[in-house]
Structure formats: structure tokens, C-alpha cells
Amino acid sequence: MLDWHKIATEEVLQRLNVSSKTGLETSQAQRRLHSAGKNAISPPPKNWTRKILGWLLGGFGSLLLAASIVCFVAWKPLGNPDPQASNLALAIVLLIVLVLQAVFNAWQDFSASKVMSSIKNLLPTDVLVLRGGVQTKLDAEQLVTGDIVLISLGEKVPADLRMIEVNDLRFDRSILTGESEPISGRVEKTDDNFLETKNIALQGTHCVNGSGVGVVIQTGNNTVFGRIAKLSSHEPTRLTTLQREILHFVFIIAGLATVVAILIVILWAAWLRVAHPSYINISGLLIDIVSVMVAFIPEGLPVAVTLSLAKVAHTLSKHKVLCKSLSIVETLGSVNVLCSDKTGTLTQNRMHVENATVFDYVMNNEKLQSIAEGVEDVPATTSIAQLMGVGMLCNAAAVVPSPTSLSEKQQLDLVGDATDVAVLRFAHRMGAIEALREQWVDIFKQSFNSKTKFMMKLSKLSPTASLETSPIASWDDFSRHDYMMTVKGAPENLLPRCSHVLDPKHGRPVLLTRDAVRRLTAIQEDWAQEGQRVILLARRVVRNHMMSSDLSPGTDEFAEEADALNADLIIVGLLGLMDPLKPTIQHTVSVCRRAERLGDHPTTAASIARNAGIITARNVHSVTDLEKKQHKASNETGADDLPKQSIVITGAQLDSLDQAQMEQLCQYEEIVFARTSPEQKLRIVHEFKARENVVAMTGDGVNDAPSLKAADCGIAMGQGSDVAKEAADMILLDDFAAIVIALEYGRLVFDNLKKTILYLLPAGSFSELMPILLNVLLGLPQMLSNIQMILICVATDVLPALSMCLETPEVGLLERKPRNVKTERLADWRLIFQAYAFLGVLESLCAMSMSFWYLQQKGIRFSNLVLGFGNWPGLDDELLFQAQSVYFFTLIMMQWGNLLSTRGRKLSIFQHTPASNWYVVPAAATSLCLGIFFSYAPWFQNVFQTRGVPVEFFFIPITFAVGLLFFDESRKYCVRRYPSSWIAKLAW
């Protein structure tokens, strides 16, 4: 055993260029490696402290925290000897708002990827190792290169192993490669490809038969499994599109607040402190700066954003769409490149035989049904029986026992690969297969793999079976001692191995000529263009003397002899298999118009893409056209002048493209990628992201995890692997069609957040800022207190803002093109102009006029207040508090008009009525109730210095709200009636 260890390890390390320690040098070196846990897959670093600080100090939080500290300082010590209780109350309120925002942000974002834990759950925890001639059970993470590992039935492979002894060993690699059939283990190398050779057992795969001994050649992150884990977990953390928009908005608000605050400080230092030294002291200056921050910051926005996303996520969950991150919903609404698998996503994964042919005698589905029912007599009855027989023998699907008889059922219950199930179901439809299968014993099987693209079986007649009763045994003078070789696979791979083809008339083989190959190839291409997967069925009788009698079927030598005899085959026929598209796919693709697809055979992939509506161009380009386009582009025209067509390209061709050609490829609107590897999928995602696209990726396997993680929006299918689900941002629990609902709500989130911001800014920002600026610049009393500013932002405006988040989609939402994340911002200059220059100015002027009109009724004229700078005859604190409350209630009432007008971006209130969102009316009523509560309750009047107002100051502002609504309706009418006018260009 120690000789095996040394020889095998040295050979593997030399052949695979493994540079790690072999574990043979000294036991001390080995112990050092053991203690280091070299087989552990490294998780990504976590820094929860930094995350928590980010929640508390990031964005608006940092400004609110600074404002709260300033208020505490302005209260004491700067407020001494007469500290103002209102300053202390303002500081505490700001601190409470900050804590509430931190809690909401933590609830929204406190989630980490569990990809690593899912991958580790797929790996074994302990393993049986041979060290120093003694068998020892160790933790799998302690394995090092050079260890000898014993594998038995049912165990998971703990590391990448080079097999040195096999006993009828078989591995299930489906978790890594997707191949449903187990492969047999070998001692000798069978392929130069590390993933294909049978003498390598890959970490995470299952031993489903036999046992074996292997040498560890790769551990931890160096294994195939580890590299997939590393690709998945080390993808750099990225901001979602919504997070980027919120950050952009924070920069705008913070920048404006900073500029205005600096301006006020400069004016105070250079002018007010000199000209009016008793007007604003240092404590008052600090409070004015805090007031500017409070005025600019829409404190209710974080709560509105979080609850809006939570509501949408809850709605999507009812449609069986699970959002793992709330902010990812809006990202999907911005997606302009969608990468989707074919099988199980676009198609139903229910393969069936659509066409069959014996040589050039083609039978469609209807004719096959007629033949099966005995309605139609055909000259190829014998040939069809052979087609059925080969399909039955060369098959790995199994019949599931059922208490229900076949007479009571329509079809067999079968399990296995979709292709095998379809072929076996076809064989059963053409004739009963149960009795026929029992007559044969499988001796040797070579499973389908991605390189050979065929399956081969050697079978012998059962000792109890009769030559006379078995129709298959009558082929080519078959005897009981002979083997029947049956082969099923891709025509392009099997045709070179064939020498004869069945004559459809009498079922006897005839020589396979070039003309016969051409006719068969033409049928294959015709079927492939219809979206069918074409497989070839072939057979050969292997005489007993051709195989060495002393070889066991489980040995490498037997496998080599069987593979050598896999030639001079007789073509029995072709089958065209169809995996029908899901009924909703065409509508789904029509909504998600720019769709990138990852599939199989280029012709088949193009046909399915055309049927699904992914490809709409008449002429589909290939990689050669791409090269011609590139040559033309470099010599005659620019890339932007080239027409955007459809193109089909394979994974191998993708690897051969340089960056200039890749740039040309990404200009196509409709792209079909065929036969792509996980690395190629990852490259596709990165290439499109690098060109400022928002990319969504669908997947269901372990191999899809890296690309799911890299995409802006990773979408896992509900029936997929746990690793794919953990790597994804969104899971479709039911059907791919649910992505349309997610897309609609993703766009709706962005629209509603724009409406929310537009609702919050006029009263919660501009109209709060104006009293401060007029107080500093014109010496007027501040017509809105700092506490009332906070009440507007976190009380009276919150529920109406949340009702905006519940708006239903406007007409035509899904017909819009995906937004350009670089130019279409959440808060762009049009929205700021609408909020400040239109709505904000109207609300501020109306509120100011009501406040000064109230003071004029009390005998205090506006002319006695302007340029007073603290010298305001007749104005006492009580009258100021009353005037401030008038301003406060006027804003609340005018926000009703803002609420009704902002609900629709271009639609009239008669087209987008409040009945579509019944939350609007009670939310508006509640905002007024909250204002009354804080203004009329005695305790709040004492602490917050609020007051009640005369009844006319409730009703007059309602007319202002109606006027505001009328002006905005007029603006929308001009936008709809004259879409090219300057008013339309200013529309948000």
C-alpha cells in the first residue's frame, strides 16, 4: 500500500502539475498541514461591526446624528444661563428618528450569503484515511495532498482523488456536471480533460456503487468544488441599482444642505454678527444650521423605502417569487439583459419523440400514433420494431412499480434522464417493453458524457429467454452466446462509427454510402431547425469470440475492448425529440424582450429561441459573420453603425473571441449561446456588466452559482439546487412566467419611489427651508419651528408617502424600455425642478401668505416684520407660535393636492383615479389628525410650543390644494397633448 502511495502520488503530481506538499516527506510536515486544515474551503471575510456602523452613520443617519449633537450643545453649554427646552426636545426627537431609521435599515439589509454553508453541507464531515499503514478516521478538513483515502458505497468524496484501486466503483457526478448517469471509476487515465477522466474522483460527488482507494491530489479551494465555491463567494460585494440611486440622492441632499449651511455661516459671520449683533447668537446659529439639515433631509424616506420594498416583496411571495433582498426587486425592473437556460426554464423538461425515421422513411407524430394503434400498415414494420428494440435496450430509464395497472393508466411511470425517458416511452408506445426487457441482461454500459455524446450498452440474452420469442434475437443471425451492442447518441459523433444503414422496406442492413449520409444529415438539419433534438440509434452483433473470455466486465481491459468494437455499426434510425416550450414563455419573452439564452446544439438552440420569440430576425448570424463585421468595422465604419441582428455562438467560439470581437457581439440585440461552461457563463455576465448593462441570470445547478452571484440579479428556479438558491437574489418557486410579475413590480417600485420623493420634498424640504432663509436674509420671524419640521417629516407626511408606495401600475408600464441606470435617476433634475420650482414654490407662497395674513389680523403688519432682524413690534411668543401653526396646517392641507397630483406621472386624476389606491384618502385624513393631535394636546403645546388655529385656516388651504391640483392637471394635459413641447421636456 505504501508503494501505491509513493508511485501514484509522484505520477499524479507530475501529470497534473500539483505543487502542494505530497505528505510523504516527514510526519512533522504532515502534522503541520493537518493542523492548518488545508481541506477547508475558505469563507469570505465578514465584518459585522462595519456593517452596523454603516447603518448608523451612513447616508441621512450621519447628518441626523450630527444635527442631534449640535442641538444638545446648543441646549447646554451654549444655551446657558437660559437653556431652551425646545432645543433639548429637538435633540431627543432627532436621536429617536436616527434610531428608528437604523432599526429599519438593519431589518432591510441584515442578510448574508449562505453559499458557503450550502456548499459545506454537500461535503463529508469525516473520512477513512490510511496513514503509516494504519486506518484512521479524520475530519475531512484535515486531509492534505498525498493522503490515501478509502471510499465505499454511499460516501461523499472528501477531496479530489487520483484512484489507485477500484472495485466496481461508480460515481454520481450530477451535482457538478449535470450528467444523470454515474460513471465507472478507473485506475488509468481515460481522458486528458481533468473533468472527464475516470481515474479522478471529484470532491462532493457520491460513490453509488463499489469501493475504491485514492490519493488526495487537490484539497480545499484548489478542488473543482472549491474553485466553484471561490468563484461564488469571492464575487465582490456590489450595490444594487436602488442602493446606488438612494446614495446618489443622499449626495444631492447632503450637498445642498452643506452649501446652504455654509452660506448661512458666512452671512452670519460677515454681516449679521456685525450689523445685528443681538439678532442671532452662536446657539441660535447652530439651531439654524440644524434647521437647514432637518429641512433638507426627508426623514420619512428611509421608512417609506423599506416598507415599500417589504410590501412588494410580500406581494411577490403570493405569486411564488421569493426575494432574498428587498432592494433587489427594483434591480429586476432595471434589467436590460436577461440570461436564461433552456431546459426546465423555457421548456417543460418533458421530452417526447416528435419524429422518427428509418433511413429516409420519415414518420411524424401522427403517423407514429397510427402505427402504434394498428390503424396504418407500413412497409417498415420490421425496421420500426428494430428502432423500438434498440431504444428499449440502450436506455437507462427505469419503470416505477405502481399498483395501478397499465390498462387503467395512459402511460408508464418512468424515472431517469429526460432523453432516456422519452425514448423508452416511445418504445413502449410502439410495443410492450416489459416482457422484452426481462429477456435481456446488461453486461457493460458506457454512459453518455459531454465529450463522446453517446451511450453504449452490451447486452446478452437471459438464460430463461427463448431465441424464437425474442424479436431482437433474430437480427443478424444472433446466437445465445453473442453480445448485442446498442448505441444511442448525437449523429455527428456516431456517423463516423457506422458502416451500414437499415433498408426501411425489409429491415436488412445496406451499405452506408456518401449519398445515404447526406440524406440522413439533411433530415437531421431539418428537424434541428424545428427545435428538435436529434439522436441516432445504432446496433451491432458482437460475436462471442471477439471478446476475451477471461475478462470481467468491470475491468478497464473489458471497457477498452468494448470501446474498440464500437465501430462498423448499423444505423437503425433517427429520433427527433422535442421538449415543448412552456405555454407562457412566448408572452414572457415578449415582455422581457432583450433575452440572452444559454443552450445546446446551435441549430436546435436557434430554433427554440425563434419559437420562444427570443430570435426575431430572418437571418441569424454566426461567429464568421461576427469576424466579417469586425473586419468591416475596423476599416470602414464604427461599431455604432453596424446593424443589430440575431446571432448564435457556441461556448468554444466564445473563448476564441478577442475583446474587439466581444464588443461587436454585445451590440447584438438577440444572442443565443450554445453549449456553454460555467466559466463561460460567468464571462458572459461580466462582459455585459462591463458595458453598463444591468444583467439578470437564471440558473438551477451548482455550476450556475458563480454566474448567479456575479449577476446584478441572480434568479434561481425553485426546483434547482440549494447552492443555486443561496447564490441567487431571487427564487422563482413556480414558473418562469412569474418573472413578468417581478419585472412589473420592479419597475413599479422605481416609479412609486419617485412619486414618494416628489411628495416628500415640497413640504418636507423646500417649504421648511424657506422660513429659515427668510429669517436670515430678510430678518423675518421663522414661520415654522424646528419641531414642526420634524413632525411634518416623521408624522404627517409618512402615511401619505407610504400610500404612494402602494400605487398600482400605470398603463403602459411594461411597454416602456428598461431604464438606463446611468441617465434615468431616482432624483434627477426634472424631479428636483418639479418638487422645488413648481410644487415647493406654490406651497411656500401659500403657507407664508396665510401666516402673515393671520398676524395682520392680529394687528402686526408685514412691513413691520420685514428687515426687522429681531425687532418685531407687537410680536410676542404666543402670536409667533400661532402663526407657525398656521404655516404648519397650511402645508398639511396643501400636501393633499400634492398627493393627488403626484399619484400619476402623466395620467390625469380621471384616468388614474384614487379608487385604484384606496389607501390615499385615509392616509391624507390621518395626516391631518396627527397634526391636530400634536397641536392641540396640552402636553405637546407646552413641550413642542405648538398651538391650535382658527377654523378658517383649515378650509382656505383646501382651496389652495385644489388650485395646486388644477395647475398640475394643466401641466399633464400639455405633456400628453404636446409631447415635443418644452413643458414635456421638463416633465419628471
The half-sphere exposure of 252 on its side-chain side, counting CA atoms within 13 A, is 17
For residue 710, give the 3-state DSSP assignment.
helix
C-alpha cell at 402: 405502481
**CA–CA separation, 963 and 317 (whole Å):** 41
Is 642:664 a contact under the CB 8 Å cutoff? yes
C-alpha cell at 744: 412589473
Beta bridge partners of 715: 698, 730
The residue type found at 609 is A
Is 323:316 a contact under the CB 8 Å cutoff? yes
Which of 341, 482, 704, 729 is the catalytic position?
A: 341
Strands 398-399, 414-415: pairing is antiparallel
Residue 495 has a CB neighbour count (10 Å cut-off) of 18
Using the structure block, give the residue that is written with the C-alpha cell 408685514.
Answer: 862
- The DSSP line for 448-479 is --TTT-EEEEEEEE-TTS-TTT-SGGGGGG--
Residue 192 annotated as catalytic: no
For residue 163, give the 3-state DSSP assignment.
strand
- The length of the chain in residues reads 988
Residue 292's alpha-carbon distances to 235, 824, 914, in angstroms, are: 40, 28, 34
**CA–CA separation, 250 and 256 (whole Å):** 10
**CA–CA separation, 218 and 207 (whole Å):** 18
C-alpha cell at 631: 473586419
**Closest to 420 (Cα-Cα) out of 665, 138, 181, 178:** 181
**CA–CA separation, 722 and 118 (whole Å):** 7
The half-sphere exposure of 309 on its side-chain side, counting CA atoms within 13 A, is 24
Q: Please list, in sequence order, all residues whose beta carbon lies within 8 angstroms of the beta carbon of residue 721, skipping any fewer than 6 positions away.
A: 175, 700, 701, 702
**Strands in 64-193 per DSSP E:** 126-131, 134-139, 148-151, 160-172, 183-184
For residue 580, give the 3-state DSSP assignment.
coil
* Residue 534, phi then psi, degrees to nearest 5: -100, 130
- How far is Cα of residue 141 from the mean position of the Cα atoms in its chain? 32
**Closest to 587 (Cα-Cα) out of 605, 612, 618:** 612
The half-sphere exposure of 539 on its side-chain side, counting CA atoms within 13 A, is 26
C-alpha cell at 354: 416528435
**CA–CA separation, 360 and 482 (whole Å):** 30
DSSP label at residue 155: P
Is 742:734 a contact under the CB 8 Å cutoff? no
Give kind and range of the element (H or E) at residue 524: helix 514-529
C-alpha cell at 106: 438593519
- The DSSP line for 755-810 is HHHHHHHIIIIIHHHHHHHHHHHS----SS-HHHHHHIIIIITHHHHHHHTTPPPP
**CA–CA separation, 487 and 571 (whole Å):** 9
**Closest to 393 (Cα-Cα) out of 458, 465, 462:** 458
Q: Assign residue 573 a region: left if phi > 0, alpha if psi is -120 to 50, beta otherwise? A: left
* Residue 100, phi then psi, degrees to nearest 5: -65, -40
**Closest to 481 (Cα-Cα) out of 541, 543, 435:** 543
- The residues assigned a catalytic role are 341
